[in-house]
Amino acid sequence: MSPETSQTASTSLHLERTYDATPEEVFDAWTNPEVLRRWWAAAPSWRTPVAEVDLRVGGAYRLSMEDPETGAVHTVGGEYREVRRPERLAYSWCWEQDDGSTGHVSTVTVDFLGEGGRTTVVLEHHGLATPESCEQHRHGWIGCLENLQTRLFATAPRP
């Protein structure tokens, strides 16, 4: 099933995707560094060489994804603003620049809505710098949500 998408404003986006997994399983996939390395990337062939998570309010995260064809590595980091397992995450979002500086800071919220052994992820990304950045992030998030399905939950046995 593909994610539902909508742009609620030119610099914000809203995505939804349902998985055959419990909220605890999906939340943990979103916050466990070992599991993040298995799925967090914007394209099917990309990999995740770095996944660092200090899962607490005020704790930091840092995630890198690598395009194996070009060798380009894209790294994002931020700080957790809300951590409520297994219901909700909120965190700042800021790409690392090539010169080591950080870029524009935006905000991501992820709600994990469980029903009958399934979980709908509701992702909102607010405060992106430009409409073009919003469109790029929309494509990247759709790729990540698809990878979560195909790499982690597609073949997961259900009790």
pTM of the predicted protein model: 0.89
Whichever domain contains 36, its CATH number is 3.30.530.20
* 158 within domain boundaries: no
* 27 within domain boundaries: yes
110-114 long-range contacts (CB < 8 A, ≥24 apart) are 110/30, 111/87, 112/23, 112/26, 112/27, 112/30, 112/86, 112/87, 112/88, 113/23, 114/22, 114/23, 114/86
Please list the rounded mean pLDDT of every run of 10 residues in the chain (159 residues).
Answer: 53 96 97 97 96 98 96 96 98 92 94 96 96 95 97 70
* 91 within domain boundaries: yes
* 145 within domain boundaries: yes
Quote the number of domains for the chain.
1
Q: In which domain, by residue range, is 61 found?
A: 4-153
State the pLDDT at residue 112.
98
* 146 within domain boundaries: yes
* 159 within domain boundaries: no
